[in-house]
Amino acid sequence: MKRFPIFFALLLSGVLLMGADGCSSDPNVEGAKLDLRNKDYDRALENLDEALARNPQNAEAYELKGRVLQEQAFEMEDVAAHSEALTEMLAAYQEAMTLNPESAGDIQSYLNLAYVNEFQRGIQAFNRGQNNNDNAEFTAAATYFGNSGTIAPDSAGAYANQAYAYINAGETANAIGPLESAIEKGDTQPDTYVILADLYRTTEQMDKALGVLQTANEMYPENGDIAAQLLNAYVVTGQVDEAMAAYQRQVDADPENKLYRYNYGSLLLSAENYDGAIEQLTKAVELDPAYASAHYNLGAAYVNKAVDINETIGAMDDDLRANRGSMSDADIEAKETEMEAMAEQRKELFANAITPLEQAKSLFEAAGEDASAVCQALFSAYVQTGEQEKAEALTECTGYDLN
C-alpha cells in the first residue's frame, strides 16, 4: 500500500547545517556557534536562551536556535523527543523570519533539508514495519511523515504516506485526516480517493464517501474501481435513480463488459425491474458462460418475476371469489381466461429459470462455494414445472426437511 514519491536521493542526508555565521555582538550567540560546531547542543541552547532573555528581539539567536534544534533532533532516536525538538525548531525559525524577513531564504534551505531527512526517517520506519511485521514501526513512520507535512505543509506526499502508515498499523480511523489533507494539497492519485471513500464508508460517513467518489469519477471516468465504488455508494445511500443512470452510462460506454452488465442487471433485479435485469444478465452470461453469480441472478430474476405474477393471480382469484355473484358470465370468463394466461406465463418463467440456476449450481459447487440459495431457487422452479423428482433430489443441498 505504500507509495513514496522519492524525488530525492540520500545525497542530502549527510549535509551539515552551515550558516553564514559571521560575527555577533552577543557573546552567548558566539558561544552557541562554537557549541554547535562541537555538537554540544544542550550547552548551545543554554547560551541562546540567555541571549534571548537579554534581547527577545534577537533574530540571529532564534535562527541559530532553530539550527541547533534541527541537528539535535536528527541525532535523537526517541520518536517523541525527536518530534518535540522539531516543533521547537519550527517555532524558532518562524520567530527568526518574523523578526528578520531577509533570513527567510536561508531558513527555507534548512527546512528543505529537515523535510528530506524526516521523510527518509518515515521511509526507513515503514520498511522496518514491513520487514518485521511491527505495528509500532508503522506508527512511528506515521509520526515522521506527519512531521514532514508540518515542515512542508504543501507536501501532499507526506500526508498520503502518513495515511498509509496508519492503515498498515491498523489505525485506520487516524488515516482519514491525512488523506483529506493529501487531497486538499493536490494529491490526484485514484487510490487516494478510493481508500478515503472506503474509510468513510467503514466509519458510516456515506455522504462524504459519495462526495469523494463523485469527484474522483469526474477526474477518472474510465476507472472501473472508482465507478464500482460510486455505484455502490449510490445504492447504499438510497439514490437508486442516480445509480441506474450511472450503470446505464457504463453499459453504453462498454457494452461488452460483463461486470458492467452484471452490476446493472443486479441493481435492476433489486429494484424489481425483472425484464431489465433479465436483459442485462442474459448478456453477462453470454459474455462469460462461467460467470456463476450472473447465472444465479438471472435465474432469480425469472423466479422473482414468476412469484410476482403468482401473487397477482392470487389477488385476482380472491377478487373473483368475492364478486362473482355481481359479475356477468362474460366478465367471469374473461377474468378466468386472463388468470389462465398468467398462470401459463408463470410456468414459463419458472421453466426459464431452470437452466441458469442449474449452471449456477454447478459453477458454485465446482468452486467449493455454498450453493444452498441456488438450490432453493431451483427447487421452486422444479416444483412449479412439475419436475418433482428433480426437486426431491435437491433436498440435501437446500437444507429442506421434506419428511
pLDDT at residue 259 above 70? yes
pLDDT at residue 386 above 90? yes
Per-residue pLDDT at 403: 60
Q: What is the mean pLDDT of residues 381-395?
A: 93
Instruction: Name the CA radius of gyration of the chain, rounded.
Output: 35
Q: What is the mean pLDDT of residues 113-140?
A: 97
Per-residue pLDDT at 348: 96
Q: What is the mean pLDDT of residues 21-31?
A: 76
Q: pLDDT digit string (tens) for 170-190?
A: 999 999 999 999 999 999 999
Q: What is the mean pLDDT of residues 315-342?
A: 93
Q: pLDDT digit string (tens) for 263-304?
A: 899 889 988 999 999 999 999 999 999 999 999 999 999 999
Kindly state the cell numbers that stand for 266.
443486479
Q: Which one has a higher pLDDT value, 168 or 22?
A: 168
Model confidence, pTM: 0.67
Tell me how far apart the alpha carbons of residues 60 and 82 are, in angstroms, rounded to a whole number: 23
Residue 143: which pLDDT band, with cuts at 50, 70 and 90? very high
Mean pLDDT is lowest, of 242-256, 266-280, 303-317, for 242-256
The answer to whether the CB of 171 falls within 8 A of the CB of 183 is no
**Three-state SS string across the chain, please?**
CCCCCCCCCHHHCCCCCCCCCCCCCCHHHHHHHHHHHCCCHHHHHHHHHHHHHHCCCCHHHHHHHHHHHHHHHCCCCCHHHHHHHHHHHHHHHHHHHHHCHHHHHHHHHHHHHHHHHHHHHHHHHHHHHHHHCCHHHHHHHHHHHHHHHHHCCCCHHHHHHHHHHHHHCCCHHHHHHHHHHHHHCCCCCHHHHHHHHHHHHHCCCHHHHHHHHHHHHHHCCCCHHHHHHHHHHHHHCCCHHHHHHHHHHHHHHCCCCHHHHHHHHHHHHHCCCHHHHHHHHHHHHHHCCCCHHHHHHHHHHHHHHHHHHHHHHHHHHHHHHHHHHHCCHHHHHHHHHHHHHHHHHHHHHHHHHHHHHHHHHHHHHHCCCCCHHHHHHHHHHHHHCCCHHHHHHCHHHHCCCCC
Average pLDDT across the chain, whole number: 91
Q: What is the mean pLDDT of residues 74-99?
A: 97
Tell me how far apart the alpha carbons of residues 67 and 17 are, in angstroms, rounded to a whole number: 7
Q: What is the mean pLDDT of residues 194-198?
A: 95
Q: pLDDT digit string (tens) for 3-20?
A: 544 333 333 333 344 444
Percentage of the residues of the chain whose pLDDT score is greater than 70: 93
